[in-house]
Structure 1
Amino acid sequence: MRHAFLVIAHNNWWQLKKLIQQLDDESNDIYVHIDKKSKDFHIDDFIGITTYSGLFFYQEYEVFWGGYSQVEVEMYLMDKAHQKGYDYYHIISGADLLLKSNSEIHDFFEKHKGLEFVDINDKKMHSDPEIKRRTKLYHFLQNYRRRYKVEFVNEIFTFLERLCLVLQIIVGINRTKTLDWKIKYGSNWVSITNSLVEVVLREKDKISKVFSYTNCADELFVQTVVYNCGFEERIYKAQDGMPSNVRYIDWSRGRNGNPYTFKIKDKGILLQNKALFARKFSEKVDKEIIEQLVR
């Protein structure tokens, strides 16, 4: 089996090299998108760092948290990788690391070949009205609310965005009223088959129409395609400590909507965890845990 790792990164280049070092295997190719806003990235620093994997870098999009640009990057990397064709496509961030060896990961996907490793969280979807509003209403300012270094400017755009949403609620805007897709929600970090990637790329125009003004659409678009395009029965069911998207992400210790950043004190928990990948890590928070996991 052949695997494409689609990596979305924007900083921490030492750490990114460690991740690429982990992924370097003759069964893997690595496709990395660097945020166009990252001015300190130098591709020359990454030349020749893999021995077995094909390594491809792109810097096409300015990526904004919560913006449709994240969906664009994911589909862009899918398209680039699909041109060569793989059994599985793994969307990960530059803040991720492997918890298992490449041989263990390959064996796992061989054993479960044909399944989609996608998280769909209906419980949170039904309990959190904000998630439903993401697609129901137009989020025109999604790319401006968090992009400026001056926080006061971000607060202005946040206020304007909220005002726009309130006005839409008052006049009864509902973008999904006649939509023939049912919106689903879950983690944007997934491992999916070539068949599903082909459907995502085929539905690219519809995805753009539905999600281009949707807040945090990266947590919705793959799940929505899976549910509405015949892949629901192929989703891997979480079992025996293995999450449905085979990733260990600790939200219980996270803050301000961000997952917890693992530290050296978490080494035992990480090594005992059954998930294949984990996020997140940061060289600025704790380099030692990264060095311990990448050997």
Structure 2
Amino acid sequence: MVINYLILAHKNPEQLYRLVMRLDSRNVNFFIHIDKAVDISAFSKGLSGLSNVYFLQNEDRLFTPWSDINGCKVLITLLKKAYEKVKTNAYCLSLSGQDYPLKDNNYIYNYLKNHYGKNFISIYKMADIWPEWRTRLERYNFHFPNNQRVFTGIFPLADKRCFTFRNFKKSFYLIKQLGLAKVIQTFFKSRRLHPSYIEPVGGSAFWALPIETVGELLKYINEHPEFLDYHEYTHVADEILFQSIVNLIKQPREIAESTTYTNWERKRDDDSGPVLFHTKEDLQELLTLNDHYLFARKFDTRLGSFILDELDRKINFQSY
């Protein structure tokens, strides 16, 4: 069996290097996208000589603002690269450059091999996880560069929700960010309606899919280009697009929870996303997780390397 790691990174080159070296082993490939806004050379240094590491080149690199559709487009490109290389007996795992393994390579390999065919992708009814789910799908949402956790969206004139104080307030904000022409253009778009031929569901953007599922997923996207086009304005599209397709093409018994752990119960002080693991207390939380979890997010080596060092030591890292 082959494991294909699909990694999106935009900062901390040394952390990406550590992640790859930690996971590097037999029958492993790395397909990596570096945000077009940053210099790729700082990330590829030290890794480009490895025969199983493939960086997307400039013609395939995109700017990937937080929660923007470009994250999905990049993942699709990475999936295509992986599928071109191996079409049977393989898994594709999506990671960010700030994720880290909780198990050694031998455990990861055997876990996936023993559960081969299972699609590890968290899937939930939209209303069960996001009270604001309609705005994700029905507004024209815009995300801004530099990976800031900032976005806003507006309803067009064809939607009665356009005529609210909140919508006009957001429109003025967008004018400042994108210009008057973009806002006027958006006002005259049609009402956003999710395609009726597929049920929208949501879940974690980090998953592990058998290569056979990847082939079916890519086929579906190729046959329904309008589905990708629709999500051009979806907020956090990578938490909806892939999940909805897998939910359509696979039976419930073939789907399991993501193997990547994220603590959404605690937020950062600035409410800018999931907690960053870096303290002794965080280490204890990670070490007592269910053995189903192979990875966790997120970590930031700018806060120090203590927790990554301790994970390596306690996991007793070994190759296979």
Q: What is the TM-score when the length of structure 1 is the normalising length?
A: 0.83
1:119 aligns with 2:122: yes
Distance in 1 of aligned mates of 2:133 and 2:275: 21
CA separation in 2, counterparts of 1:44 and 1:219?
Answer: 28
What is the CA–CA distance in structure 2 between the aligned matches of 1:177 and 1:45, rounded to whole Å?
A: 43
Larger strand proportion, structure 1 or 2?
Answer: 2
Letter of the structure 2 residue corresponding to residue 98 of structure 1: P
For 1:85-100, what aligned pairs fall within 5 Å after superposition? 85=86, 87-100=90-103
1:35–1:61 Cα contact (<8 Å) kept: yes
Once the two structures are TM-superposed, the CA of residue 131 in structure 1 deviates from its matched residue by 1.7
Residue 199 to residue 210, structure 1, CA distance change in 2 (3 Å): farther
Partner of 2:212: 195
Q: How far apart in 2 are the matches of 1:171 and 1:271?
A: 47
Offset, 1:276? 0.6
Out of 170-179 and 207-216, give the one that drifted further. Answer: 170-179
Q: Give distance in 1, aligned partners of 2:40 and 2:250.
A: 43
**Residues 103, 206 of structure 1: CA spacing in aligned structure 2 closer, same or farther, 3 A cutoff?**
farther
Rate the CA distance shift 1:218–1:278 in 2: closer, same or farther, 3 A: same
Q: Paired residue for 2:202?
A: 185
TM-score computed with the length of structure 2 as normaliser: 0.77
Paired position in structure 1 for 2:285: 269
Q: Structure 2: how far apart are the matches of 1:22 and 1:207? A: 36
**1:246 aligns to what?**
259
What pairs with 1:10-159 in structure 2 (closer than 5 Å)?
10-39=10-39, 41-42=41-42, 45-47=45-47, 50=50, 54-59=52-57, 60-85=61-86, 87-122=90-125, 125-126=127-128, 128-139=130-141, 142-144=142-144, 147=146
- Whether the 8 Å CA contact 2:68–2:236 is kept in 1: the answer is yes
Cα distance in 2 for partners of 1:107, 1:30 equals: 19
Task: Give the CA deviation at 1:222.
Answer: 1.1
Question: Is contact 2:139-2:234 (8 Å) kept?
Answer: yes
Tell me if structure 2 keeps the 8 A contact 1:13–1:41.
no
Show CA shifts across 1:88-133 (max 9, x none): 10000000000001110111111111010001122x6346342233
SS class of match (1:175)? coil
- Match of 1:37, as an amino acid? A
Structure 1 spans left out of the alignment, 5+ residues: 237-243
- CA offset at residue 44 of structure 1? 5.3
> What is the distance in 2 between the residues matched to 1:75 and 1:178?
20
Instruction: Please state if 1:258 is matched with 2:270.
Output: no
Partner deviation per Cα, 1:73-101 (whole Å, 9 max, x = no partner):
11111011111115110000000000001
Change (3 A) 1:268 1:3: same
Seq. identity, %: 26
The answer to whether the 8 Å contact 2:31/2:53 transfers is: yes
Does residue 242 of structure 2 align to residue 222 of structure 1?
yes
Q: In structure 1, the residue corresponding to 2:143 is in which secondary structure?
A: coil
Q: Partners of 1:30 and 1:134 in 2: how far apart? A: 31
Please identify the structure whose Cα radius of gyration is greater: 2
- Structure 1 residues 185 and 65, CA gap change in structure 2 (3 angstroms): same
Instruction: In structure 1, give the amino acid aligned to 2:45.
Output: D
Gaps of 5+ in 2: 163-189, 314-320
Give, in angstroms, the shift of residue 166 of structure 1: 6.9
Deviates more, 1:264-273 or 1:169-178: 169-178
Q: Which amino acid aligns with 1:8?
A: L
Q: Which runs of 4+ in 1 moved over 4 A?
A: 146-149, 171-174
Q: Residue 92 of structure 1: SS of its match in structure 2? A: strand
Output the CA distance in 2 between the equivalents of 1:264 and 1:129: 31
Report the counterpart of residue 307 of structure 2 in structure 1.
289
Query: How many pairs align?
Result: 273
